[in-house]
Amino acid sequence: MRIPQSLLTLISVLLLTASYGQDDGSKVDMADAMRSNGRIYVVVTVVIVILIGLLIYLVRLDRKMTKMEKERS
């Protein structure tokens, strides 16, 4: 199987840019400050609530679509 050169170029560029974004992780001021103030738990809670809301919405939407498909058949 032959991989096109443009695909290889794209992959190498993506890997190169990802490697520049890496940090040693030894110093994350914002995360440390939020953790010390207890605000990180608020952020995590909000993210979890949003994800649960999206999940409930998708389940309800799927049920409605299934019901409509059954009525149409």
Q: Do the beta carbons of residue 34 and residue 43 sit within 8 Å?
A: yes
pLDDT digits (tens, 9 = 90+) for 44-55: 999 999 999 999
Average pLDDT over residues 14-21: 70
- 25 — phi, psi (to 5°)? 75, 10
- Going by C-alpha positions, the residue among 58, 30, 56, 28 that lies closest to residue 43 is 30
Q: Does the pLDDT of residue 5 top 90, yes or no?
A: no
Average pLDDT over residues 6-28: 71
Reduce the secondary structure of 28-53 to three states and give it as a string. CHHHHHHHHHCHHHHHHHHHHHHHHH
